[in-house]
Amino acid sequence: MHEKKCLVRSPRVLDMTNRNGHLCGRILADLGADVVKVERPGGDPDRRIGPFYRQTFDRERSLLWFAYNANKRGITLNLDTGDGRQILKTLADKADFLIESFPPGTMDELGLGYAALAEINPRMIYTSITPFGQTGPYKNFKASDLVVMAMSGLLYMTGRPGEAPLRISFPQSFLLAAAHAAAASMIAYFHRETTGRGQHVDVSARECVLWEISNAIPSWKLNRKILKRAGSYMSGRWANIKQKLLWKCKDGYVVFYILSGGFGVKTNRGIVAWLQEEGLDSELLTNVDWNDFDMSEQTQETQNQMEAPIAELFSRHTKAELYNEALKRKIMLSPVSTARDICENTQLHARNFWVEVDHPEIPAGIPYPGPFARLSETPLASARRAPLPGEHNLEIYEKELAFSKRDLRLLHQSGII
Amino acid sequence: MDLERKVFDGIHIVDFGWALAGPLSVKYLADYGATVVCIESQQRPDLLRVSAPFKDEIPNVNRAGFFSYFAANKYSISLDLNNTAAKEIAKNLVAWADIAADSHRPGVLEKWSLDYDALIKIKPDIIMIRSSNQGLTGPAALQPGLGNHINGLGGIVHLVGLPDEEPVSPMVAYTDYCVPPLAASALIGALDYRRKTGRGQLIDLSQFEAGLHLIAPLLLDYSTSGMEAKANGNACEYAVPHGVFRCKGEDRWCAITVFTEEEWQAMGKAMGNPGWTKDEEFSTFLGRKKNEARLNLLVEQWTSQHEPEHVMMLMQKEGVAAGVVQNAEDICSDAQLEERGFFWEGDHEEMGTFSYLGQPSRLSETPANLYRNAPSLGEHNKYICLEILGMSEDEYDRHLEAGVFGP
């Protein structure tokens, strides 16, 4: 067991988020915070979202829930009751963070908004994650992952030209938002530890995804150029021509592209040598002086001619063969990995990335992705399985808040906890 | 007079970072008041300084929009790290710094003797973050690559596309943008730990590993049931319709997503209750799921007669989650972003007025700010040597002549 953790005082986090923010609390928990998930009695509705353990619907076996609520404790509390709200205020009095992802105004209506809780506990960091933020004309717009992706420009840049833009099939925008919320909460915490003062952190998921669209904004602002989606090609980075990015191989696809500038030299020379070994010599490629090669001067015709023998080379091999060869030759190429490829990846195994997490309710443990970063002095907490609904009610309500057994029985029966 | 205290006042960062993930992680601290010195090179400028777009399409390291967009609030010094005196300056900056950040391929800092073991000899309590493609150890540690390669390796590319068709790559280096908030969280945690215990540390961040947290449930799914998730266009198992629909205009689209019975009724109302919405086959969720393709066509017949902004407003008015598929032009004239001041309007030494990327969170007491425009390459050589390192003007001039800052 590692005793040392980044957050040496194990600050208390009240995690009231739904699927729009689970990961935020998970990150804080990994850093050493004492995160308590607050669910409604019976469990959070997100527990019914899959994928599920062994493909079978079970509210207590959602893998989405497992992944993003590990390392937390869990209590149940009904905020629609006066008792529930009173209990939350008591918890807030001692909490260091509260994170929530209700629509703007929801917590205010419950009397649990930032202003109300800051009066009880001015040291608290209160983080709100919403699609568009707490202010502005769109603040009450309804949103989903696809809508946030649409309104942040990432969707427009992904997909085939002329066809409908595409999202990443596993919803990403609120995971990004939750990660940014964790960083912003940590900034507020650092400030709190300096000054003793808490504050409100207002996170807009859409603005988080706006970080993702690389050079699209400066391309428009500087040159009135709109970067468009280019399917399996890249365009608008080093050249305005299309550079092939995804290539078909025997059993799938690989990522590769011809790069100009100093960082491309080794890869480009490597690929030329490899072509020669396979009898796919191309005079055009062999004669390029890669030190002088400038993609911005490249024509589409020459680009296509350069790419043709490379496509032939890749089509002869599997993605594993190509990647192994690329590793040997230090060529920038990667497989288009499936979940299986990732789970079997040798680099991850060599680094002992997978962490077996014990689930007493399930026959065997489950390998989870390991720490998102390796900290030499204060390693991130290794995962402890996510809480069952109300699993820690006794720990919190009886031991910490000193409710009597009788009161707890009453609170349970009346649906308050 | 500025009496406002910034969160990271007095925190010093020397940033050896390169390209995206590293510098973007440091942006979090720079925007909240840390003093950040980027160590750059004239001979080998940052990847983004030689990437499009360039102001007026004139390629130049100081006209690079992509680099500058992320580089506000930082100082730049150019050093030829193969030069002994330059290395000495870098080491003096390490002695000055609380954090050293790096995002080169493992091996590069070792070559310059600026790896963690070397740095702790100069500054025993330094925090060093090394953000790399695949981490500092393991057989693939030294493998070169850019974000687009990690998109593939890390499973993102496989998840974009229509079912059973060739995948599509996000045109952006996706994981490069997933990593910074995680890296910043760890860095700030390490900084707080250091302030409470006096101890620094090394953070080894593999962008490949960190990115896997954004698809973690799919990896649990594979390891527990052997299921390999596939791309499924824009569909969602528990919502219908759930897609992107063509609208009036060239390449104009609107996303519409309906999760509940109530929203289905609301969507019909927003469209003016066309007759087909009452069709028997669409009367239940399972019916709509079964006939999703036909339903999508009917919705698109309606959306294609309207501009996407109009579709969005009609849907939102009735409480349906819908949003315009915005391009850069739309984003730059978006009322919500303008109201919230998302982009930071500033200047740039060579490009004139310039819009910088802002922070996606608003801290009520200590907001982030544009304190300093993005630097030209080596813009602060003299300032850093004289004001931060206390060098004499004579010494600086000698270094300048000797090519310490580049040719």
B224 located within any domain? no
Give the 3-state DSSP-derived string for B240-288, with helices as H, strands as E and coil as C. Answer: CCEEEEECCCCCCEEEEECCCHHHHHHHHHHCCCCHHHHCHHHCCHHHH
CA distance A41 to A246: 48
Q: Tell me whether residues B53 and A218 touch, CB distance under 8 A.
A: yes
- Report if residue B265 sits inside a domain: yes
Please report, for residues A183, A372, A374, B21, the alpha-carbon distance to residue B182 in angstroms, rounded to integers and kept in the order given.
Answer: 7, 7, 12, 11
Residue B222 maps to a domain: no
Residues 6 or more apart whose CB falls under 8 angstroms from that of A1 comprise none
Contacts of A245 in chain B (CB under 8 A): 148, 169
Compute the CA torsion angle B158, B163, B166, B170 (nearest 10 deg): -50
Percentage above 70 pLDDT, chain A: 99
On whether residue B396 sits in a domain, the answer given is yes
Given a cut of 70, the residues of chain B with pLDDT beneath it are 1-3
CATH number at residue B322: 3.30.1540.10
In which residue are the tokens 């391009």 written? B327
B175: which 2 tokens?
């994981």
Are residues B276 and B169 part of one domain?
A: no
**A295 to chain B, closest Cα gap in Å:** 10
Contact A143, A129 (CB under 8 A): no
Q: Supply the CATH number for residue B126's domain.
A: 3.40.50.10540
Do B52 and A238 count as a contact with CB atoms less than 8 A apart?
yes
Task: Give the best residue of B8, B195, B220 to mutate against chain A (max A CB count within 10 A).
Answer: B220
- Let me know how many helices (H) and strands (E) chain A has, helices first: 17, 14
Q: Do B177 and A212 touch (CB under 8 A)?
A: yes
User: Pick from B298, B327, B356: which residue ends a domain?
Assistant: B327
Whether A107 contacts A113, CB under 8 Å: yes
Distance between CA B267 and CA B11 in Å, rounded?
52
Cα torsion angle, A132, A15, A79, A51, sign: positive
B199 and B277 both lie in a single domain: no
Question: Based on the domain organization, do B72 and B207 belong to the same domain?
Answer: yes
The total number of structural domains in chain B stands at 2
Tell me how far apart the alpha carbons of residues B350 and A61 are, in angstroms, rounded to a whole number: 57
Percent of the residues in chain A that have a pLDDT greater than 90, as a whole number: 92
Whether B129 and A235 have beta carbons less than 8 Å apart is answered as no
Each residue of A233-276: pLDDT tens digit?
987 776 778 899 999 999 999 999 998 878 899 999 999 999 99
Region A178-201 average pLDDT: 98
Final residue of a domain: which of B300, B327, B354? Answer: B327
CA distance B288 to chain A (A): 19
ipTM over 0.95: yes
Look at residues B292, B327, B362 and tell me which one is the last residue of a structural domain.
B327
Inter-chain residue contact A338 with B220, CB threshold 8 Å? no
Do B163 and B312 belong together in one domain? no
Residue of B nearest to A333 (CA): B149
- The DSSP call for residue A374 is E
* Residue to substitute from B187, B257, B340, interface A, most A β-carbons within 10 A: B340
How far is residue A161's CA from residue A69's CA, in Å, rounded to a whole number? Answer: 39
Q: Are B365 and B319 within one domain?
A: no
Whether residue B184 is contained in a domain is answered as: yes
For position B335, what pLDDT does the model report? Answer: 97
Judgement on whether residues B312 and B183 belong to the same structural domain of the protein: no
- A150 vs A42, residue with greater confidence: A150
Q: Which one of B240, B344, B361 makes the best mutation probe of the A interface by having the most chain A beta carbons within 10 Å?
A: B361
Across the interface, which of A138, A184, A345 has its CB nearest the CB of B363? A184
Alpha helices in B97-235 (DSSP H): 108-111, 116-122, 147-153, 174-197, 207-212, 216-225
Mutate to test the interface with A, among B31, B142, B192, B309 (most CBs of A within 10 A): B192
Average of per-residue pLDDT across A89-101: 98
All residues of chain A having their beta carbon less than 8 Å from the beta carbon of residue B345 are none
**Chain B residues with CB inside 8 Å of A64's CB?**
217
Q: Across the interface, which of A66, A152, A378 has its CB nearest the CB of B220?
A: A66
Q: Are B270 and B257 contacting, i.e. CB atoms less than 8 angstroms apart?
A: no
Any domain includes B227:
no
Nearest neighbour of B220 by CB, restricted to A167, A210, A366? A366
Question: Which of A211-220, A291-300, A388-397 has the lowest average pLDDT?
Answer: A291-300
Q: Kindly report the nearest CA distance between residue A99 and chain B, in angstroms.
A: 13
To the nearest whole number, what is the mean pLDDT of chain A?
Answer: 95
Residue B73, domain member (yes or no)? yes
> Before A41, cis peptide (omega within 30)?
no
Q: Are residues B165 and B274 in the same domain?
A: no
User: Do B114 and B55 sit in the same domain of this protein?
Assistant: yes
Residue-number span of the structural domain to which B160 is assigned: 12-214+341-401
Same domain, B182 and B248: no
Outline where DSSP puts E strands in A239-339. Answer: 243-244, 246-249, 252-255, 334-335
Q: Do B52 and A187 touch (CB under 8 A)?
A: no
Ordered structural domains, chain A, with CATH: 12-211+361-413 (3.40.50.10540), 231-344 (3.30.1540.10)
Distance from CA of A87 to the nearest CA of B (A): 26
Residues 6+ apart with CB under 8 A from B310: none
Is residue A97 within 8 A of residue A127, CB to CB? The reply is yes
Bond prior to A379 in cis (omega within 30° of 0): no
- The predicted pLDDT at position A322 comes to 98
Inter-chain CB proximity A167 and B193 less than 8 Å: no
Q: A152–B326: do the CB atoms touch at under 8 Å?
A: yes
pLDDT of residue B2: 45
Q: Do A373 and B205 touch (CB under 8 A)?
A: yes
**Same domain? B347 vs B307:** no
Cα B199 to the chain's mean position, in Å?
29
DSSP A130: E
Q: Who among B140, B184, B214 is closest to A183 (CB)?
A: B184
CA–CA distance, A382 with A388 (Å, rounded to integer): 18
Radius of gyration (Cα) for chain B, nearest Å? Answer: 25
The H or E element that residue A413 is part of is: helix A405-413
Q: Which residues of chain B make contact with A51, given a CB cutoff of 8 A?
A: 217-218, 220-221, 227, 229
Q: Mean pLDDT across the stretch A307-332?
A: 97
One domain for residues B67 and B175: yes
Residue B87 in domain = yes
Residues A221, A216: Cα–Cα separation, whole Å: 9
Question: Distance (Å) from the C-alpha of residue B17 to the closest C-alpha of chain A?
Answer: 15
Is residue B41 located within the same domain as residue B180?
yes
